[in-house]
Structure 1
Amino acid sequence: MTGKQKKVSFQQRTDSRSNHHCCVPFCTASTRFNSYLSFHTFPKDSELQKQWVVKIRRDNFIVTSTSRVCSRHFIAADLLEPLTPAGRRRLRPGAFPVLFQWNNYTIPTPRPGVWERAERPPNTDLTEMQTDNEDDDPLPCHEHDYCVSNEPAALDLSLNENEELREEISRLRKQIEDLTVNSKFCLERFSASDDDIRFFTRFASHAHLMGFWNQIEPATHNIIRVTRARTVEKTDQVPHSASATVLQPIDEFFLFMNYLSLGLMQKDLAHRFRIHRSTVSRIINTWANFLYTVLGAVSIWLDVDTVKTHLPDVFQDYADTQIILDCTELRCQTPNSLLLQSEVFSNYKSHCTFKGLIGIAPHGAVTFVSSLYQGAISDKEILKQSGIVALLDPSMAIMVDKCFLVEDCVPCKVHIPTFLSKRAQLSRSEIRTSQSIARLRVHVDRVIRRVKEHEIFSTVIPLSITGSINQIFTVACLLVNYQNGPLVKAWANNG
């Protein structure tokens, strides 16, 4: 058959009662509207069937008993005559469709090989030599000594060049590694600068940070990752391995510490770490829950003997002090609901707040953290609901600010500054007592200030993260025990 295109002749079907459609893309032929075409089932041979699927360009196509390819996609030579007794047209064994809309229903012309495409000039010299020597002896074969080695000087020069090239390759590889690290926003990039580590994570140094990481790293293999996918139990959590991100676990932890320490917006973190904003949100929630679980599993409440063992000398006049308590408030976004506004509005801050209770041992370690409550709640009510009363016994004493009127709800002694109680002034001993308690109680304010060095608490907390703010606040308080040294250098030997 000559010509650029090979046409296919279609014959009218004798039986069009069935209703079949061609499964080839862009082909709308069907037995209902076209009785000139025949419709052929896929071959039973698996290899030939796969070849049909490839030819019709149907990825992941599942062949069924009703799948058909019409005769317009086969060349005329593949359509056998005569028809079957039932009036059906048969295909030549091994035939497959080759005519489609994307090749304009023409038979693809095989591409010529390299030697056929390239134009080569005739080798006239070799032709003349062969003609001249047809009747003579064969051309002499020149002898070559393939075992002759190079000169020593040339070998030395080659070795020197190879060594220089190796050194150049090593130097370039080192430059590529440095550029790769410096272009990524990750922990490794700042590992050489303790100032940067302090700025981004609030840990005193890189060694300090890695010491903390080595404690929690084994537990990261069982981390539960917050994700939009739902498990069989219909929860919003799946194992870490099932939803791993492009970041390494240590860099996910570094991202969370950036969020906590600098209060960065999630979009900013997404640009820094080159990931999607929704991924940043899931990483933050995942690590807030993970650290809340891991750090919360460590008992921070100290027994009486341990507290007395580490008691600083300045507490000798109040040696029975077990814990110093104070409340702190975090400003939050004002809710639209007036009822919610009345619950979270703080008269002390004149703003909507979340309120929590923090307690430290006399040597400065955080030993108690309550959940966050609405800002309208009183300090006394927080102490009752926080659960700390159950940890106290008559042999202990607590030290509080003068606003904590809790003598009637704790089973132990309370060290509290003296009130005037409608008197004109305090006595000299009462003034000294109040001043000494104030000097010691101020250390809980210093711990709270360390907690609020995490810049996320210096801004108005949006209501969108209220579901995880309790975990974030607790983690920030517990991290104070790991991020910093003793409150007072003189207490270093005692703490």
Structure 2
Amino acid sequence: MSAAVRKNKYNVRDLFKLQRTEVKSTNHCCVPLCSASGLYNSHLSFHRFPKKTSLRARWLHKIRRAGFSVTPHTKVCSRHFQDNEIHTTAKGRRVLAAGSVPSLFEWNSYTTKSWAGVWERRSRPPSPGPDSAGPVEDIGHPVMVPMVVDHDYGASRTVCVDREQYEDVLSEIETLRVQLQTFNLHHSFGLKRFASSPEDIRFYTRFFSYEHLMAFWNLIEAATAKIVRVTRSKKTDATSTTTESPLTRPTKLLPIDELFLFLTYLSTGFTQRELSHRFNIHRTTVSRIIITWATFLYSLLGLVCIWMSPAAVNASLPHDFEGIYSDTQVILDCTEIRCQTPSSLLLQSEVFSTYKSHCTFKAMVGMSPHGALTFVSALFEGSTSDREVSRQSGITSLLTPDMAIMVDKGFLVDDLVPGNVHRPAFLSKRAQISEEDVLKTQSIARLRVHVERIIRRVKENKLFDTTIPLSIAGSINQLFTFACLLSNYQNGPLVKKWRYEV
């Protein structure tokens, strides 16, 4: 390397060596952009940070060194303090006045002068006096109205606007308010949104119209005050000594919207996650609402006696049953709903149905001759036979010798019931059924088909068209029973000319 190159290359520290050393001091200022040092300037004084925590925090805030670690050797030079904040003692030492804070820095040009704002720097015409005469009012100009504003942007606290513009703005605000309410109504998934659409009411609730749904709500509304809700945790006597009123208990939805959610769950078969998105609530809240209302409505409608006396049945007996079938009290049939296959082989063998070739739950449904549902059993395993379901369902205890039942071929219950059994004839090792048996089978099938129609009404609830998950197996009995009982409130008669009384 040449001598010329070595001469141009120098260290920054060499600059200080060229300065004149005045005192032997190692003090230097910790403020950013300040290079003051006591080694080369004897006119500056250096001051330690105060011991008081609040005052020290103000110093750090002023010098703009957040998170800076202060040591006993950290000091600030006197050029950052005002002249009246530094005093000289009798011994010639310069000390700070109590409570002094550095305020002069490179970024404020070492001054504390405050600049006037835009409003102060802008010139304004003088305000008219109270006695000065105003301009002559022009009839052709629009009338001005005063309007008080929130912020004082002018010399006066009031401004004037055009009356026509003012009224147009008010009209626009009212229009936007109505649009906002309509928008919220259309985007909130609840009963009010579909009140004016009978098709949507039938789709989501299976009720014929909004009026029919409200009639059912009026029947059960008083009982909802005593509903027992499923909550996240159970209160014990040790932790709770008061009972919370169902009327004052906070809920995510109104009771009628909770009923609408429950009916939507039955009718559409939506998953709980989908319902949580539609109703804008948590999925666990949907689960608690479903279990709560399933238990509540199962208990409430279960208190209503749907079994009819022979006199009531005869009073509503259709003409099609007159004759040899006039003693028919109930028409019985079994139905099955699919369920999720259990992992246990033992449980699989119990719920597997050879008729459906799938794991199912099985129930018996009975209807009176005029079409009202009058009996529904609990759910049994799919492997249970029709005879065993008839024996365990409790239907035999309701029958008397003067009551006849109408069943399908699989119901071999002649020894279980005290009365007659109207059942289609069997071939029974004969080469051909007799003409009399054919006519009997046709007449029974023509009347017994109506129980299939009432079962179809129950299964119009799409929940039972899907495979029932085992996660709701604990409440599926309540759900199915309520769907059967609700069919008497949702629908009209199976045949229009039949009288429908329960």
- TM-score of the superposed pair, with normalisation by structure 1: 0.69
Task: Name 2:455's counterpart in structure 1.
Answer: 448
- Equivalent position SS for 1:224: coil
Of 302, 324, 328, 2:308 maps to: 302
1:178 aligns with 2:178: no
Of 220, 230, 237, 1:216 maps to: 220
Return the alpha-carbon distance in structure 1 between the equivalents of residues 429 and 374 of structure 2: 36
Q: For 1:311, give the aligned amino acid.
A: L
Q: Residues 22-421 of structure 1 correspond to what in structure 2 (within 5 A)? A: 119=117, 121=120, 143=131, 164-232=168-236, 240-241=246-247, 244-317=250-323, 318-421=325-428
Segment of structure 1 superposing worse, 421-430 or 286-295 = 421-430
Return the alpha-carbon distance in structure 2 between the equivalents of residues 469 and 265 of structure 1: 15
Return the alpha-carbon distance in structure 2 between the equivalents of residues 397 and 263 of structure 1: 37
- Equivalent position SS for 1:226: coil
Task: Name 1:484's counterpart in structure 2.
Answer: 491
Q: For 2:131, give the aligned amino acid.
A: E
Return the alpha-carbon distance in structure 2 between the equivalents of residues 149 and 289 of structure 1: 77
Return the alpha-carbon distance in structure 1 between the equivalents of residues 124 and 488 of structure 2: 90
1:437 aligns with 2:444: yes
Q: For 1:386, give the aligned amino acid.
A: S
- Equivalent position SS for 2:450: helix
- Equivalent position SS for 2:370: coil
Return the alpha-carbon distance in structure 2 between the equivalents of residues 174 and 123 of structure 1: 43
Q: How big is the shift at 1:425?
A: 2.2
Contact 1:225 1:239 in 2 (8 A): no
- Equivalent position SS for 1:490: coil
Aligned residues: 376
Q: How big is the shift at 1:166?
A: 4.6
Return the alpha-carbon distance in structure 1 between the equivalents of residues 355 and 132 of structure 2: 102
- Equivalent position SS for 1:353: strand
CA distance change for structure 1 residues 323 and 156 in 2, over 3 Å: closer, same or farther? farther
Task: Name 1:8's counterpart in structure 2.
Answer: 52
Return the alpha-carbon distance in structure 2 between the equivalents of residues 159 and 152 of structure 1: 14
Return the alpha-carbon distance in structure 2 between the equivalents of residues 230 and 452 of structure 1: 35
Measured against aligned partners, the alpha-carbon deviations of 1:61-110 in whole angstroms (never above 9, x if no partner) come to: xxxxxxxxxxxxxxxxxxxxxxxxxxxxxxxxxxxxxxxxxxxxx99x9x
CA distance change for structure 1 residues 434 and 6 in 2, over 3 Å: closer, same or farther? same
Contact 1:223 1:239 in 2 (8 A): no
Q: Which runs of 5+ in 2 are unaligned?
A: 1-45, 54-99, 104-113, 146-161
Contact 2:230 2:291 in 1 (8 A): yes
Return the alpha-carbon distance in structure 1 between the equivalents of residues 213 and 300 of structure 2: 16
Contact 1:224 1:238 in 2 (8 A): no
Return the alpha-carbon distance in structure 1 between the equivalents of residues 476 and 467 of structure 2: 12
CA distance change for structure 1 residues 448 and 123 in 2, over 3 Å: closer, same or farther? closer
Return the alpha-carbon distance in structure 1 between the equivalents of residues 163 and 265 of structure 2: 54
Measured against aligned partners, the alpha-carbon deviations of 1:156-215 in whole angstroms (never above 9, x if no partner) come to: 997766655554333222211110011111111111111111111111112211211121
Q: How big is the shift at 1:144?
A: 6.1
Return the alpha-carbon distance in structure 2 between the equivalents of residues 458 and 346 of structure 1: 16
Q: How big is the shift at 1:149?
A: 11
Contact 1:261 1:454 in 2 (8 A): yes
Contact 2:338 2:361 in 1 (8 A): yes
Q: How big is the shift at 1:143?
A: 2.5
Measured against aligned partners, the alpha-carbon deviations of 1:24-53 in whole angstroms (never above 9, x if no partner) come to: xxxxxxxxxxxxxxxxxxxxxxxxxxxxxx
Q: What RMSD over aligned residues (CA atoms) do the two structures have, in Å?
A: 3.4
- Equivalent position SS for 2:331: strand
CA distance change for structure 1 residues 209 and 407 in 2, over 3 Å: closer, same or farther? same
Q: For 2:457, give the aligned amino acid.
A: R
Contact 2:493 2:500 in 1 (8 A): no
What percent identity do the matched residue pairs reach? 54
CA distance change for structure 1 residues 181 and 141 in 2, over 3 Å: closer, same or farther? closer
Q: Which runs of 5+ in 1 are unaligned?
A: 10-105, 110-115, 130-139
Q: For 2:382, give the aligned amino acid.
A: G
Q: How big is the shift at 1:244?
A: 3.5
Contact 2:396 2:417 in 1 (8 A): yes
Contact 1:267 1:277 in 2 (8 A): yes
Task: Name 1:35's counterpart in structure 2.
Answer: none
CA distance change for structure 1 residues 322 and 169 in 2, over 3 Å: closer, same or farther? same
Measured against aligned partners, the alpha-carbon deviations of 1:132-164 in whole angstroms (never above 9, x if no partner) come to: xxxxxxxx9753689x99979966997766655
Contact 2:492 2:500 in 1 (8 A): no
Return the alpha-carbon distance in structure 2 between the equivalents of residues 282 and 419 of structure 1: 49
Q: How big is the shift at 1:394?
A: 1.2
Q: How big is the shift at 1:389?
A: 1.3
Q: How big is the shift at 1:488?
A: 1.3
CA distance change for structure 1 residues 212 and 149 in 2, over 3 Å: closer, same or farther? farther
Q: For 2:353, give the aligned amino acid.
A: S
CA distance change for structure 1 residues 353 and 233 in 2, over 3 Å: closer, same or farther? farther
Q: For 2:218, give the aligned amino acid.
A: N
CA distance change for structure 1 residues 195 and 5 in 2, over 3 Å: closer, same or farther? farther
Measured against aligned partners, the alpha-carbon deviations of 1:422-480 in whole angstroms (never above 9, x if no partner) come to: 22222222211111111111110111111111111111111111100000000111111
Which of structures 1 and 2 has the bigger CA Rg?
2
Contact 2:372 2:500 in 1 (8 A): no
- TM-score of the superposed pair, with normalisation by structure 2: 0.68
Q: For 2:407, give the aligned amino acid.
A: V
1:469 aligns with 2:476: yes
